[in-house]
Amino acid sequence: MTPFGERVRSLREARGVTLKQMAADLHISSAYLSALEHGKRGQPSPQLVRQICAYFGIIWDEAEELERLADLSHPRVTVDTAGLNPKATELANRLAERIHDLDDGALDKLLGVLDETLARCGPARRRAGGRRR
C-alpha cells in the first residue's frame, strides 16, 4: 500500500463509502481504485487527486497533504545516483535489496533521520536533492 492509497482508504472508510460506490461516483473503475489503494498502480493523475479532494470536501492544507502523498506514492521508484558520492549509490542499492526486511520501527527511524537531515538543508537543497523518476 502507498501513503496515498492508505489515506484514500481511510477517508473512504471514515465516511462509510464503499470502494465500488466511490469509483462509480468518480467515473473510474473499481479495479483501478482498488489498485491505487493497494499500491499496484502508479501515481494518480493530478486531476484524479483534485476529484478525490472535491469528493471528500477536502480543501487547503488537507488537499495539499493529499497531493504530497500522491507525489510520494509511486510504487516503483528509480534512484539516480550518477555523479553523487559513492556512499549514496551504496545506500540506494542496499535499501533496494533489503527494504522488504524492514519493519515499521526501522522504517520510522530511517524516515526520521531523513526528515531531520532535510530540515537542516533548507528548501532549495531539499528540492534539488529530491529527484525521482
Domains in the chain, CATH or no CATH each: 3-71 (1.10.260.40), 86-129 (no CATH)
User: What pTM was computed for the model?
Assistant: 0.73
Write down the residue that cell numbers 473503475 correspond to: 29
Q: What is the DSSP letter of 61?
A: H
Asked if the model's pLDDT at residue 131 lies above 50, the reply is: no
DSSP run (H or E) holding 86: helix 86-98
pLDDT at 128: 43
Distances, alpha carbon 54 to alpha carbons 23, 34, 59, 130, in Å: 14, 19, 8, 29
Q: Give the burial string for 20-32 (b: 16+ CB within 10 Å, else e).
A: eebbeeeeeeeee
Q: Which of 62, 74, 64 is nearest to 36 (CA)?
A: 74
Asked if the model's pLDDT at residue 61 lies above 50, the reply is: yes
How confident is the model over 74-111, as pLDDT tens digits? 888 899 999 999 999 999 999 999 999 999 999 999 99
